[in-house]
Amino acid sequence: MERTLAIIKPDAVGRNLIGKILERIESEGFRIAAMKLIKLGKAQAEGFYAVHRERPFFGELTDFMTGGPCVVMILEAENAISKWRDVMGATDPAKAAPGTLRNEFGATLQNNCTHGSDAPETAAFETAYFFSALEVVS
């Protein structure tokens, strides 16, 4: 069983899409091992996205992620990382396959409704960034 971090981003939370996205997560066979509604501060967003610090979009990204509440989750499934990325679709909603979350609910490259870890090492960092061991239900 593999774990990945999933985020329902502020744009999707603001459009009342939490329930629809959670329904999709469960219907795809994921088990939610941890979940909470949070509002990131600037320092928290910058720490989470530190890998992108030198990229030109870093400031816009961290501003966006601090603009409203988001839902952070740990999802479990066989091949959870690749499976969640398939369910989300391409980062750019305009290029995301029909039926994916980003195709259905994403508005722009930045406002693409969801985040997911891209590798096992990233998933380990990201899940530990938001959850302590006591918050994860095995």
Domain membership of residue 138 (yes or no) is no
Task: Check whether 92 has a pLDDT greater than 90.
Answer: yes
Domain membership of residue 84 (yes or no) is yes
Helical (H) or strand (E) element with 84 = helix 80-88
Residues 6+ apart with CB under 8 A from 26: 32
Mean pLDDT of 69-76: 98
pLDDT at 40: 97
- CA pair distance 8, 73, nearest whole angstrom: 8
Told to judge if 52 belongs to the known catalytic residues of this protein, a careful annotator would answer: no
With cut-offs at 50, 70 and 90, classify the pLDDT of residue 110. Answer: confident
From the CA atom positions of the chain, what is the Rg in Å? 14
Percent of the chain with pLDDT over 70: 100
Query: Considering the entire predicted model, what is its pTM?
Result: 0.94
pLDDT at 138: 83
Give the residue among 117, 134, 135, 137 at the shortest CA–CA distance from 51. Answer: 117
Domain membership of residue 137 (yes or no) is no
Domain membership of residue 40 (yes or no) is yes
Task: Check whether 66 has a pLDDT greater than 90.
Answer: yes
Domain membership of residue 44 (yes or no) is yes
Structure-token pair, residue 110: 């930045």
User: Looking at residue 24, which CATH number applies to its domain?
Assistant: 3.30.70.141
* Contact yes or no for 3/76 (Cβ under 8 A): yes
Domain limits for position 107: 2-132
With cut-offs at 50, 70 and 90, classify the pLDDT of residue 71. Answer: very high
Q: For 31, what's the count of Cα atoms within 13 Å in the CB-facing half-sphere?
A: 11
Mean pLDDT over the full length of the chain:
96
With cut-offs at 50, 70 and 90, classify the pLDDT of residue 109. Answer: confident
Mean pLDDT of 21-37: 98
Domain total for the chain?
1
Pick the catalytic residue from 70, 115, 126, 130: 115
Mean pLDDT of 101-119: 94
- CA pair distance 7, 29, nearest whole angstrom: 17
